[in-house]
């Protein structure tokens, strides 16, 4: 059944007036009586179309249920800003895999350093990539992508998580040694191409982060968040 996102929770009826209406009527050629799923904040609303033209689609909510595709853990990736279009790949792939949010940040060795103002156009693009990947993969939420943070801003956010990991190529424990069953809000902090300065790592550790070492093979900075998301979804029974 085709899935779309709703900007607000639904009660008995729905009304779509954005580009999804064009998609539903023209591309999918759906008709009165056809069924679609609308998602909002992890809830799937199973709907029936009762009225349709090229600009609006409306109908009734038949039933609703918690989205089966949302993982049992909320995983946020704190990603030091990478070069080129690597953040696009990271957002697309981690969204498919079940990430809750992606927080780009600027560390000392970041080559690409957009400020928040420059970033506003990019954020629009990143949010679109996240929404598309969420739709395609059948997610129940669209992961939120934040504007680039400073390390201090990241550290303030860490109190929202019950487990904070930082990937460090020089040392750290193994992911397999962590008992994930106790944690529901997990943050993973990942460096850019050049990795982290030691004092940056220690700053995060002082704020409660646990160092993780991903083994002998050196992963490119975009491979790390994709792999970590897959592994954590597997270790928490979500994949």
Residues of this chain that bind a copy of itself (CB under 8 A): 68-69, 92-93, 96-98, 136-139, 174-176, 214-220, 223, 226-228, 230-231, 233-235, 237-239
Nearer to a copy of itself, 94 or 149 (CB): 94
Shortest Cβ distance from residue 214 to a copy of itself (Å)? Answer: 6
Q: How many other C-beta atoms are found inside a 10 Å radius of the C-beta of residue 109?
A: 14
Nearer to a copy of itself, 93 or 157 (CB): 93
CA 186 to mean position of chain CA atoms: 12
Shortest Cβ distance from residue 234 to a copy of itself (Å)? Answer: 5
Nearer to a copy of itself, 22 or 89 (CB): 89
Shortest Cβ distance from residue 220 to a copy of itself (Å)? Answer: 6
Residue whose pair of structure tokens reads 């992911």 in the numeric block: 175
d(C-alpha 217, C-alpha 81), whole Å: 21
Shortest Cβ distance from residue 64 to a copy of itself (Å)? Answer: 17
d(C-alpha 22, C-alpha 56), whole Å: 8
Q: What is the dihedral of CA 87, 90, 94, 96, to 10 degrees?
A: 100
Nearer to a copy of itself, 83 or 203 (CB): 83
Nearer to a copy of itself, 33 or 237 (CB): 237
179, exposed or middle or buried, with CB in 10 Å at 0-12, 13-18, 19+? Answer: exposed
Shortest Cβ distance from residue 192 to a copy of itself (Å)? Answer: 15
d(C-alpha 22, C-alpha 78), whole Å: 36
């Amino acid at each position: 059944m085709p899935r779309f996102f709703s900007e607000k929770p639904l009660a008995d009826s729905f009304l779509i007036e954005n580009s999804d209406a064009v998609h539903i009527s023209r591309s999918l050629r759906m008709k009165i009586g056809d069924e679609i799923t609308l998602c909002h904040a992890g809830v799937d609303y199973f709907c029936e179309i009762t009225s349709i033209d090229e600009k609006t689609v409306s109908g009734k909510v038949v039933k609703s249920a918690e989205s089966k595709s949302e993982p049992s853990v909320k995983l946020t990736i704190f990603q030091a800003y990478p070069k080129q279009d690597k953040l696009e790949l990271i957002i697309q792939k981690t969204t498919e895999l079940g990430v809750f949010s992606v927080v780009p940040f600027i560390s000392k060795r970041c080559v690409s350093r957009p400020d928040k103002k420059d970033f506003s156009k990019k954020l629009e693009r990143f949010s679109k990539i996240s929404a598309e990947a969420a739709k395609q993969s059948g997610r129940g939420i669209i992961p939120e992508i934040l504007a680039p943070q400073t390390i201090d801003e990241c550290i303030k956010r860490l109190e929202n998580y019950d487990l904070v990991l930082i990937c460090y190529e020089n040392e750290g424990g193994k992911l397999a040694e962590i008992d994930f069953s106790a944690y529901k809000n997990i943050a993973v902090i990942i460096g850019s191409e050049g990795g982290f300065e030691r004092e940056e790592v220690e700053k995060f550790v002082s704020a409660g982060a646990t160092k993780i070492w991903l083994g002998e093979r050196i992963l490119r900075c975009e491979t790390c968040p994709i792999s970590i998301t897959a592994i954590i979804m597997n270790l928490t029974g979500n994949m």
